[in-house]
Protein backbone atom coordinates (compact mmCIF):
# COMPACT_ATOMS: atom_id res chain seq x y z
CA UNK A 1 0.00 0.00 0.00
CA UNK A 2 1.52 3.36 -0.99
CA UNK A 3 1.99 6.15 1.50
CA UNK A 4 0.57 9.65 1.14
CA UNK A 5 2.86 12.67 1.22
CA UNK A 6 1.22 15.61 3.01
CA UNK A 7 2.94 18.95 2.41
CA UNK A 8 2.57 21.89 4.77
CA UNK A 9 2.84 25.49 3.57
CA UNK A 10 6.05 25.95 5.56
CA UNK A 11 7.59 22.89 3.90
CA UNK A 12 6.60 24.12 0.44
CA UNK A 13 8.48 27.38 1.17
CA UNK A 14 11.58 25.44 2.27
CA UNK A 15 11.25 23.21 -0.79
CA UNK A 16 11.09 26.21 -3.16
CA UNK A 17 14.14 27.76 -1.51
CA UNK A 18 16.05 24.47 -1.73
CA UNK A 19 15.21 24.03 -5.42
CA UNK A 20 16.20 27.65 -6.21
CA UNK A 21 19.56 27.16 -4.51
CA UNK A 22 20.18 23.66 -5.88
CA UNK A 23 18.44 23.30 -9.26
CA UNK A 24 20.86 20.51 -10.18
CA UNK A 25 19.26 18.36 -7.43
CA UNK A 26 15.64 18.77 -8.62
CA UNK A 27 15.44 15.49 -10.52
CA UNK A 28 16.97 13.52 -7.64
CA UNK A 29 14.72 15.32 -5.15
CA UNK A 30 11.51 14.45 -7.01
CA UNK A 31 12.66 10.84 -7.51
CA UNK A 32 13.27 10.64 -3.76
CA UNK A 33 9.73 11.86 -3.04
CA UNK A 34 8.27 9.35 -5.50
CA UNK A 35 10.19 6.47 -3.91
CA UNK A 36 9.22 7.71 -0.46
CA UNK A 37 5.54 7.48 -1.42
CA UNK A 38 5.97 4.00 -2.85
CA UNK A 39 8.20 2.53 -0.13
CA UNK A 40 9.72 4.71 2.61
CA UNK A 41 11.76 1.72 3.77
CA UNK A 42 13.58 1.28 0.44
CA UNK A 43 17.30 0.84 1.22
CA UNK A 44 18.41 3.58 -1.18
CA UNK A 45 16.58 6.20 0.93
CA UNK A 46 18.74 5.36 3.97
CA UNK A 47 15.82 6.04 6.35
CA UNK A 48 17.11 6.66 9.87
CA UNK A 49 16.12 8.48 13.06
CA UNK A 50 18.22 11.57 13.77
CA UNK A 51 19.34 12.30 17.32
CA UNK A 52 19.36 15.45 19.42
CA UNK A 53 16.94 18.24 18.60
CA UNK A 54 15.43 16.21 15.74
CA UNK A 55 14.72 13.12 17.82
CA UNK A 56 11.28 11.77 17.02
CA UNK A 57 11.59 12.58 13.31
CA UNK A 58 13.05 10.46 10.53
CA UNK A 59 15.49 11.39 7.81
CA UNK A 60 15.98 10.16 4.26
CA UNK A 61 18.72 10.97 1.80
CA UNK A 62 18.38 12.73 -1.51
CA UNK A 63 22.12 12.31 -1.99
CA UNK A 64 25.12 12.09 0.33
CA UNK A 65 24.96 15.86 0.80
CA UNK A 66 21.20 16.54 0.96
CA UNK A 67 18.53 15.27 3.37
CA UNK A 68 14.79 15.50 3.99
CA UNK A 69 13.56 15.27 7.56
CA UNK A 70 10.14 13.80 8.07
CA UNK A 71 7.40 13.42 10.58
CA UNK A 72 6.36 9.85 9.96
CA UNK A 73 2.87 8.55 10.71
CA UNK A 74 2.90 4.88 9.75
CA UNK A 75 -0.51 4.19 11.28
CA UNK A 76 -2.26 6.43 8.76
CA UNK A 77 0.16 5.75 5.89
CA UNK A 78 0.97 9.47 5.92
CA UNK A 79 4.37 11.11 5.59
CA UNK A 80 4.73 14.79 6.44
CA UNK A 81 7.98 16.38 5.21
CA UNK A 82 9.36 18.89 7.70
CA UNK A 83 12.62 20.20 6.20
CA UNK A 84 14.87 19.76 3.19
CA UNK A 85 18.46 20.93 2.88
CA UNK A 86 22.12 20.09 3.21
CA UNK A 87 23.17 17.56 5.79
CA UNK A 88 24.61 20.32 8.01
CA UNK A 89 21.65 22.63 7.44
CA UNK A 90 19.05 20.03 8.36
CA UNK A 91 20.94 18.67 11.34
Contact status, residue 50 vs residue 59, Cβ threshold 8 Å: yes
* Model confidence, pTM: 0.85
Q: What is the pLDDT of residues 45-58, one digit of tens each?
A: 988 888 888 788 88
Q: What is the pLDDT of residues 20-41, one digit of tens each?
A: 999 999 999 999 999 999 999 9
- 4-90: CATH number: 3.30.2310.20
Domain boundaries defined on the chain: 4-90
Question: From its phi and psi, is residue 77 left (phi > 0), alpha (psi between -120 and 50) or beta?
Answer: left
Amino acid sequence: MPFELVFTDSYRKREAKFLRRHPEEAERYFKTLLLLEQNPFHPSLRLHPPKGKLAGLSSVSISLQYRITLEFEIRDNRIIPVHVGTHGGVY
